[in-house]
Amino acid sequence: MAAIIFDLDGTLVDSVPDIHAAVTLMLADHQASPMDMSQVRSFIGNGVPALISKVMEARDEDPADAKRHAQLEATFMRHYTAAPAKLSQLFPGVRKALLKLQGAGHAMALCTNKPIIPARAMLASFELENLLPLVIGGDSLPVRKPDPAPLHAAARAMGADPVLYIGDSEVDAEAAERAAIPLMLFTQGYRKSPIAALTHSATFDHFDELPRLISRFADR
Ligand X SMILES: O=C(O)COP(=O)(O)O
Contact residues for ligand X (CB under 6 A)? 7-10, 44-47, 51, 112-114, 138, 145
As a dihedral over the C-alpha atoms of residue 82, residue 87, residue 91, residue 93, rounded to 10 degrees, the angle is: 90
CB of 104 to ligand X, least distance (A): 24
Spot the catalytic one: 7, 14, 18, 172: 7
Give the integer Cα–Cα distance in Å for 203 and 168: 10
Q: Which does 14 bind (CB under 5 to 8 A by kind): Mg ion, ligand X, none?
A: none
60 annotated ligand-binding residue: no
Give the integer Cα–Cα distance in Å for 40 and 66: 21
CB of 165 to ligand X, least distance (A): 11
- Sheet of strand 183-186, all strands in order from the earlier edge strand to the far edge: 134-136, 108-111, 3-6, 163-167, 183-186, 202-204
36 annotated ligand-binding residue: no
The reply on whether position 168 binds Mg ion by CB under 5 A is: yes
Give the integer Cα–Cα distance in Å for 51 and 15: 14
7 annotated ligand-binding residue: yes
Q: Which does 152 bind (CB under 5 to 8 A by kind): Mg ion, ligand X, none?
A: none
Q: Which does 137 bind (CB under 5 to 8 A by kind): ligand X, Mg ion, none?
A: none
**Using CB under 5 A, which residues numbered 7 to 26 contact Mg ion?**
7, 9-10
Q: Which does 170 bind (CB under 5 to 8 A by kind): Mg ion, ligand X, none?
A: none
Task: Residue 45: name the closest of 110, 111, 113 by CA.
Answer: 113
Query: Does the active-site annotation cover 7?
Result: yes
CB of 48 to Mg ion, least distance (A): 13
Give the integer Cα–Cα distance in Å for 39 and 59: 12
Task: Residue 179: name the closest of 215, 145, 138 by CA.
Answer: 145
CB of 119 to ligand X, least distance (A): 7
Task: Residue 83: name the closest of 155, 19, 32, 29 by CA.
Answer: 19
Catalytic residue IDs = 7
Can you say which residues are annotated as belonging to the binding site for Mg(2+)? 7, 9, 168
